[in-house]
Amino acid sequence: TGVTQSPTHLIKTRGQQVTLSCSPISGHRSVSWYQQTPGQGLQFLFEYFSETQRNKGNFPGRFSGRQFSNSRSEMNVSTLELGDSALYLCASSLVDSENTIYFGEGSWLTVV
Amino acid sequence: AQRVTQPEKLLSVFKGAPVELKCNYSYSGSPELFWYVQYSRQRLQLLLRHISRESIKGFTADLNKGETSFHLKKPFAQEEDSAMYYCALEGAQKLVFGQGTRLTINP
């Protein structure tokens, strides 16, 4: 099975917070998150490996994440803004992005 | 800073015609470059990477360090090539994507 993300679609109100989940391919230890919007394209959020954040993109502190011992990852966005409406993609790879990374289908977040 | 530029948002060619999707990058180190493709209703997937120097589905891409380019080419386009194409650069353990080019192959 591939990278699985949940939920697939959700609608939130401004000011709320949201948690998105990602299960990597079995055996993959690196998980990265991306935000995809029509205006900005695909933007790197952060990358986790062995429960540690190894790299972070240029997003405000409202965006956070974590990785569990089984490599599953979650990302959280607090105090949601309208501009956070986007497709959030998770990707996994064996060790790092030098290996082929595999994307999930994403979680569509709409903030109203 | 890492930056990837795909100057064409939309590209339309006829079936059988050559295709070239442009990609330019900016990176101070030694880059690893990739092309990703997203077909309609499918997830984003790797098409090819420059270190493999391979041809996938008839597509090739050559890294030109002098011009800082990694253009994607195919001599004869097919209708099934219609998709969104993203050029990406990996550096400092971070993958940076271009804005993408929507390629449409007309019959």
List, for residues B49-106, the tens digit of each pLDDT value. 887 777 889 999 989 989 999 999 999 999 999 999 999 998 776 789 999 999 999 9
CB atoms within 10 A of CB A105: 17
CA distance B70 to chain A (A): 17
Asked whether the predicted pLDDT for residue A21 surpasses 70, the reply is yes
Residue of B nearest to A54 (CA): B93
Sign of CA dihedral B96, A54, A47, B62: positive
For the record, the structure tokens of B39 come out as 């077909």
- Report chain A's mean pLDDT, rounded to a whole number: 93
B36-67 burial code (b ≥16 CB/10 A, e <16)? bbbeeeebbebbbbbeeeeeeeebebebeeee
Cβ pairs bridging A and B (under 8 Å): 43
Inter-chain residue contact A55 with B45, CB threshold 8 Å: no
The whole-angstrom distance between A1's CA and the closest CA on chain B is 13
Confidence of residue A5 (pLDDT cuts 50, 70, 90): very high
What's the confidence (pLDDT) of residue B89? 92
- DSSP letter at B9? S
B43/A55 touch (CB, cutoff 8 Å), yes or no: no
Higher pLDDT, A6 or B29: A6
pLDDT beyond 90 at A106: yes
CB-based contact (8 Å) between A98 and chain B?
A: yes
CB distance A54–B93 less than 8 Å?
yes
Mean pLDDT of A43-61: 93
At residue A98, the pLDDT reads 62
Find which of B32, B36, B44 to mutate to test the A interface (most A CBs within 10 Å of its CB): B44
B5 alpha carbon, distance to own chain's centre: 11
Q: Which of A44, A89, A103 sits opposite B96 (nearest CB)?
A: A44
Q: How many residues are given for chain B?
A: 107
Mean per-residue pLDDT for B8-20?
Answer: 96
Q: What span, in angstroms and rounded, lies between the C-alpha atoms of A107 and B1?
A: 28
Mean predicted confidence (pLDDT) in A15-32:
96
Q: How far apart are the two ends of chain B, measured CA to CA in Å? A: 41
Question: Average pLDDT for residues A43-72, to the nearest whole number?
Answer: 94
DSSP code per residue over A41-79: EEEEEEEEETTEEEEE-S--TTEEEEE-TTS-EEEEE-S
CB of A14 within 8 Å of a chain B CB? The answer is: no
**Checking DSSP bridges between strand A107-111 and strand B10-14, what pairing results, if any?**
unpaired
